Amino acid sequence: MSVTYNDVARVTREVDQVTCDLCGAEAARGNTWPVDSFAIDEITIMRKTGRSAGSFGEINEEKVDVCPDCWVSKVVPFFEGLGAKFRGEGVQW
């Protein structure tokens, strides 16, 4: 028996730059807001819809990127004005 293989090119998408969709500010390090190399501050408001049937499926995402300043001064007050209550969850390792 003989087996032959075809080379298949795959495209990988990586985030190059994140810009706040509300004020236009650009993230300090391309895809994350803080300047400190150990800090994490990523904010995305997203809706994910789709269907999954085992080994195949389809996912659609609608996203809005928001900087930390707009999160605090615009997004949180907006949702709290609608009656939403934010809850914090922490993880340590």
For residue 7, tell me if it sits in a domain.
no
User: Which pLDDT tens digit goes with each residue over 28-83?
Assistant: 777 678 777 788 888 888 999 999 888 888 999 999 999 999 999 999 999 999 99
Q: How many domains, in total, are found in the chain? A: 1
pLDDT of residue 1: 58
Rounded distance between C-alpha atoms, residue 70 and residue 68, angstroms? 6
Rounded distance between C-alpha atoms, residue 60 and residue 50, angstroms? 6
Q: Which of 17 and 66 is assigned the larger pLDDT?
A: 66
pTM of the model: 0.70
For residue 89, tell me if it sits in a domain.
no
For residue 4, tell me if it sits in a domain.
no
41 lies in which domain range?
14-84
For residue 9, tell me if it sits in a domain.
no
For residue 58, tell me if it sits in a domain.
yes
pLDDT of residue 62: 94
